[in-house]
Structure formats: C-alpha cells, structure tokens
Structure 1
Amino acid sequence: MRRIIFLALLSALLNHGFVSASAPLVIYLEADRTHHQASAISIEQGFKTAFSEVNNTIQGYPVEFLVLDHRANASRSYKNMQSFAADPQALAFVAGLHSTPLLKYRDYINKNQLLTLVPWAAGGPITRASDDQNSIFRLSIDDTKVGGFLVDYALNTKQCQRPKLLLEHTPWGQSNAENMSNSLLEQGRPKPQISWFQWGINETDARITLRTIINEGADCVLLVANSAEGEVIVRAMSKLQRDKRLPIISHWGITGGSFTDNVSITERESVDLSFVQSCFSFLAPQLNDFSKSVFTQASILFDEINQENDIKAPVGFIHAYDLAKVFISAMNQVELVDDNKVNQLALIKALENLNATTQGLIKNYQRPFRPYRVDDPDAHEALNQNDYCIAHFNNSGDTLVQSKEE
C-alpha cells in the first residue's frame, strides 16, 4: 500500500514539473581557468546565455554544465576527455583557448566519436581529421585562413616589406608558421625568418629577441602569442628606443587573459598594435534588437555584466553564444533519447545537416557545417575569412573592432 501511495505521489510530482522525468544532459566546459581565465569565463557566459533562452531544457531534458580547468596542461585535458567519454550523462565537450590539447588528442576524440565544440582554439588541423570520421566542430577563427588574413593586412594595409614571424614554440605556433610562410610565398615574398619563444618568456629575453629581429632588417612583426607572453613582448617593445619600435600585427591569443590589466595605457600607446577578431562587437556604434536582447539576457544572468565592456575576452562570449545556438538547433532537429552516446552520434549528423537557419551575433548560419571528408577540409568550420576583422585596444582597454569599410 505504501509503495502504491509513493508511486502515485511521484507520478503527480513528475506530471506537475516538480521533479524532472529525465536525467540531465551535461555539457563539459573545459578550458584554462588558471592562466587565461578571461577567455574561459567568457566562453562559459556565452554558452549559458544561449541555453538560458530555452530555459536550460531541451525536449524535457534539463541541461547542466560541468566547468573544468586544465590549467594549460594537455595531459590534464586528456584526463578530462576520458572522464567525458566515460560519463553516461555527458553530451558535448566544449574546448577553450588552447589548441594544443585538441591537436594532441584529436585522433582520440574522433576515434571515440566524442562530440566536441570549439569556440576559440584556432589551430588549423583541429577540425581536419585524418579520415572521414570527425566529431569536432569549430565556430572560431581558423589558422589556415587567419595566417593569410594577417599577412594581407601587414603587406597591403601596414605596407610592411620585410615582416618577421615571432611565434610561441607550440603546435599552435608551428601551425601558424606554416600557414603564414605559405601566404607570404604566395604573395611573391621570400620565405620569412622566424623567431621562436617558449611559454614564460621574461622581459629581458623578449627585448633581446626584438633587438635581433630589428637588426635583421624587419619592418613589422607578425606575432602568435597568448596573453601572458604577449604582455611581456609588447612591454618589451614599448621600452625600446622610439625609432626602433616596430608595428605588431598579432593573432588574437593576446585577448584571452589580462593583457590590458597588465600592460599600461602608456605602454600600449607606445606600440602600434593590431590584432584579428571576428566581425562583431557589443561596442559597435549601432546594435540591432537581437544583439541588444542577447546582452540584456547576459546582464540578467551574470552580476558582473552591467555594460557592454564588462564582457572580457569578448570573442569567447560571441563565438560560444553563436555555437551554442547552432548546437541547440541541432538538438531540436533530433529526437533525444536516454542514451547520450546515441545522442552524440545523432547530433554529429544533425550538425552536418542542419535544416533551420540559426540567428547569431556574427551572422545568420545557414547550414554552417557539412558532412566531413578529407577532400573537404573546411566542412566543420562555421566561419571563414569574410568573418575576420582587425581590432585595437582603446585607452580603457576595450577591444574595438574595425568594420570592413575602415
């Protein structure tokens, strides 16, 4: 009799929504929250804002987030991937700023068909599997395109004649070395000289490296660095004799940490610094109603967001929001079941064959992905070079994105 009463009460609670009838779908948010916290937080904010618009529920399944910190350690990231693979509630693995974990363990991800979403990491090979089985999808800048974009800006806008590459000595830096070198060769320039630096470079070594670059006759620097090393290099450049300082055209890794907190206004004003971003900004002179509504929703969710420049490392938020919206469209296109491995496989196919147009901040996405083949290497890339713009820091440390017309 007690069992009958208990079951009747449970049924009533379920029918009235007091207890979820389904186990939660868990989205892993895995990034470097120790050394590049701003990028990790912005990605988290973007994903959570998008899912809050559907009340964190899809087809009756509650959506929850598990936040993890790999601390810039690829081995720790691999352990998190293994935990994801073993978690029956895990639905999607969202990566962070660093390319190295994804490059190093790309084959593991694809072999085990772990649905992986990439809103920041830019390493070219990440989405380019060695065979047709590919479960990694990116909505971000892609190094196979950004190298040519930065080279074109350096040569044609900045009028550089002898650019020098200054790159971090990681798989991400090596990927850019190849792409930038090829872009320069395609534009009829000689193979560029490359200077490498390790993570943790100090200011003395940075000044020595920059003086060597200047003495070798370079007239601008193409920089690939994350925030910590970018801070050191820009400060070192600012302290050189004024007529020796070179323009720095940087990848966007410098925006992922606390660059503007650690590089003073005086130091920033002393260096001609520009960097790549995608072509949307909450600081644009005019926002459409959709963009305003997204910001309003974010400001409701997060106490630290009151005005547009409170979103730090803004591309993390922007890309994560757009990618989450695309992912939600895929979720709405399939019939979710209680087996998340089945769901992951169904969502991989749905992402490759989206029917609905998804409204995003950067643009509207009409079938952003395609079924992957080795001979179609861009099939899992939602953005392209037309979505890239140049940006600068203003005196307040905000990121100002130039329009294509500027």
Structure 2
Amino acid sequence: MPHPFSSYAQVQHCFWSQNILGSRLMPSFSTRSYAAVMLILWSLFMVLANLAQAADKKPIFIGLDAEFGHKTSTSAQAVQQGMQIAMDEINRAGGVLNGRKLKLLISDNRSIPAIGVDNLKRMAATPDLVGVFGAKFSPVIIEWVPVAQQLELPIFATWSSADEITDHGYFPSYCFRLSLKDTWAASTLLRFALEERQASRVGLLLANLSWGQSNQLAIREEAQHQGISIVGERWFNLGDKSLLALYQDLREAGAEAIILIANETEGSLLVKDVASLPASQRLPIISHWGITGGNFAQLTGSALEQVDLSVIQTYSFIDDPSPAAKRVLAALK
C-alpha cells in the first residue's frame, strides 16, 4: 500500500468548476471521484488504526511448567531452550495473529505432581494463554490430564512418554504428544534386544512410578508379539542406593539383556553396579530415554565405558546436516 499522504493529489479530484447557471463557483463531484475520495480516506483511517493497534498489541503467552528444581535433571532447561529458540524465530518473522509476539511463562514443579497441578491451574488464569508444555516426568503430566480437560486448556507432552497422557477416554482431548510414547518404545527396545544383542530372554528393571507401570504393560504385550520371554520384573524406588541385587536376580533367572526404565540417578547406579562385576556377568543394558534427561555421564563417570549400554532416541543432532539443525545449534551458542 502507498503511503497514505501520497494520495493528497487524488483528493484534489474534488475540484471547483463554474456553474453554468451563474458566475458563482460551486464544487462539482462525479460519482467516481466521490468513491475515490472515500476509498482514500478509509484507507488512511485503516492505516492509522493499525498503527495505533500495533503500538498496543499484547503478547500471546505459552507456558512451561517443568522440573527446574530437580537436583540432577536438565530436561527442563533443554525444553526451555528449544521453546525459546522457536518462539524467537516466530517473533522475528512478525509474530502471530497480525503481529502479536509470543512470550514464555515458566514455573517449577520440581517433578512433584501436586505442585505441577497447582502450577497448571495458576497459569490457566493468565489472559491470552494458549497452552502449557511439560518436560520429562510422566507422573506430573498424567495428573495434569483431568485438570486440562476441565479447564479446556491444551497441554503438550514434550518428553514424558506414558501412554495414558494421550490414551484416555476424554473427547475432545486437550492433551497432545510431541514425541515418543511407551508403546512405541517397547517395540523398539525389544526389537533391538533381539536383533542387535541376540537376546530372546530379557529382564525388566522398572522405576516404581506410573511411568514404570506404563512401560511394564507395553513391554509385556509387545514381548508376546515378538516371541521374547520376560524372565522377571524388578522394581526400584527413587532414592535407592544400589540396584545390584535386583540386577543379579534377573541375571540368575536367565536374562540375556536388561530393559531399563529409569531416570539419570538410578540409571547411573545400575551402570556403576554392573561395571563393578566381572566382565562375564555384565549383561547388555537397553534403556528408555529417561537417563538422557540429566547429568548421566557425570554421574556414571568412567564406569560408563565398562558396560554395553544402548538408549532409545527419536532424534539426534549428530550427523544431521539439515538447515533447521544448523540453525538451532547456532542459536544455542
């Protein structure tokens, strides 16, 4: 659109001419001239209105409630970085909804479901909030589900993988998954055990959480489809000091590989326990991705080099030459 004031000459199309009935000068408008003038004036009004609106546009809020206060987890910070990079790109491109910018709201649930629910309710009261993202811990997001449905607030599971986050009886659903779920993980973990480690007999080591229960059900069902025997299931609690006795139970039961459902703290305990054994007693460990959401490498130290550990992932920046990957990595520097 041309600058509104460049149309001043067109306004002069409202011209003066001599009235044939006398010597007095009278304004003479043609219908087309009148329409042109009105269009110009309306355009000028709209430009000024848009300028005024742009100066007073409020942001659109997106929430992130995650375990920032957890001692060993870094998943909350990782999700925050990814969200902020994406929002910055959108804002630089002009924002959304005719120029409104996105703004991130953050709260800390410390991985405690009750705190997460309180935070979700508090965020929901924010004007112009369009949704809330979570991070790694499935128990928090599972407790969000009925609250989000009641509030009609979209929630997004970025890392938490328990099936019941999206597999529930609510319709329409306000719960969205952005990546892996446990049923899909079970298929991949067991197929890897069979094809890559030639293990047709596996033992399960599971966190005593709703996330562990979700995996137990998914792995049991998938093992039947793949013809894999589960020789035993052992549960550990958060805060346990060693998993060695549980591991040895499964090994002695005939496990040829261990399927591990754990986060970084307990996962590092198992790695150090197994590394302390003679090489002949070290079974392959095939892990869900919970161990990657924290300071796992620092917690395991040199023991990590002594075990056969594989971890499921849906994506890696390693060897990804795509423009999007390069752009994100550059933004992290």
TM-score (norm 2): 0.80
Does structure 2 retain, via aligned residues, the 8 Å contact 1:30–1:68?
yes
Shift of 1:122: 0.5
2:292 is aligned to 255
Gaps of at least 5 residues in structure 2 are 1-46
Consecutive aligned runs of 4 or more in structure 1 exceeding 3 Å deviation: 11-14, 189-192
SS at match of 1:283: coil
SS at match of 1:53: helix
Paired with 1:125 and 1:156, the residues of 2 have a C-alpha distance of: 29
Amino acid at match of 1:50: A
SS at match of 2:238: coil
For residues 328-370 of structure 1, the C-alpha deviation after alignment (integer angstroms, 9 at most, x for no partner) is xxxxxxxxxxxxxxxxxxxxxxxxxxxxxxxxxxxxxxxxxxx
Q: 1:161-310 to 2 correspondence within 5 Å?
A: 161-203=200-242, 206-264=243-301, 266-278=302-314, 280-284=315-319, 287-296=321-330, 298-299=331-332, 305=333
Q: 1:310-325 to 2 correspondence within 5 Å?
A: none
Paired with 1:240 and 1:247, the residues of 2 have a C-alpha distance of: 13
SS at match of 1:263: helix
Amino acid at match of 2:88: S
Which has the larger displacement, 114-123 or 57-66?
57-66
Q: 1:6-405 to 2 correspondence within 5 Å?
A: 15=51, 20-35=55-70, 36-55=72-91, 57-59=95-97, 60-203=99-242, 206-264=243-301, 266-278=302-314, 280-284=315-319, 287-296=321-330, 298-299=331-332, 305=333
Paired with 2:69 and 2:198, the residues of 1 have a C-alpha distance of: 38
2:29 is aligned to none
Paired with 2:194 and 2:323, the residues of 1 have a C-alpha distance of: 37
Shift of 1:191: 4.8
Does structure 2 retain, via aligned residues, the 8 Å contact 1:111–1:133?
no
Does structure 2 retain, via aligned residues, the 8 Å contact 1:92–1:115?
yes
Paired with 1:197 and 1:259, the residues of 2 have a C-alpha distance of: 18
Does structure 1 retain, via aligned residues, the 8 Å contact 2:139–2:209?
yes
Q: Which has the higher contact order (CA 8 A, sep 6+)?
A: 1
For residues 286-340 of structure 1, the C-alpha deviation after alignment (integer angstroms, 9 at most, x for no partner) is 50233222322x13xxxxx3xxxxxxxxxxxxxxxxxxxxxxxxxxxxxxxxxxx
Does structure 2 retain, via aligned residues, the 8 Å contact 1:184–1:192?
no
Amino acid at match of 1:66: L
Shift of 1:146: 0.8
Shift of 1:242: 1.7
SS at match of 2:176: strand
Check 1:127–1:219 CA distance in 2 against 1; reply closer, same or farther (3 A cut): same
Paired with 2:181 and 2:84, the residues of 1 have a C-alpha distance of: 24
SS at match of 2:132: strand
- The structure with the larger Rg is 2
Does structure 2 retain, via aligned residues, the 8 Å contact 1:249–1:275?
yes
- The RMSD of aligned alpha carbons is 2.1
SS at match of 2:74: helix
Paired with 2:255 and 2:232, the residues of 1 have a C-alpha distance of: 9
SS at match of 1:201: coil
Q: Percent identity, aligned pairs only?
A: 29
SS at match of 2:122: helix
For residues 210-253 of structure 1, the C-alpha deviation after alignment (integer angstroms, 9 at most, x for no partner) is 22222222111000001111111111111122211111000000
Paired with 2:329 and 2:254, the residues of 1 have a C-alpha distance of: 46
Aligned residues: 283
Does structure 1 retain, via aligned residues, the 8 Å contact 2:288–2:311?
yes
SS at match of 1:221: strand
Paired with 1:72 and 1:123, the residues of 2 have a C-alpha distance of: 15
Check 1:90–1:38 CA distance in 2 against 1; reply closer, same or farther (3 A cut): same
Shift of 1:159: 0.5
Does structure 1 retain, via aligned residues, the 8 Å contact 2:182–2:215?
yes
Gaps of at least 5 residues in structure 1 are 1-10, 300-304, 306-406
Does structure 2 retain, via aligned residues, the 8 Å contact 1:181–1:192?
no
Paired with 1:214 and 1:83, the residues of 2 have a C-alpha distance of: 48
Shift of 1:20: 4.2
Does structure 2 retain, via aligned residues, the 8 Å contact 1:252–1:275?
yes
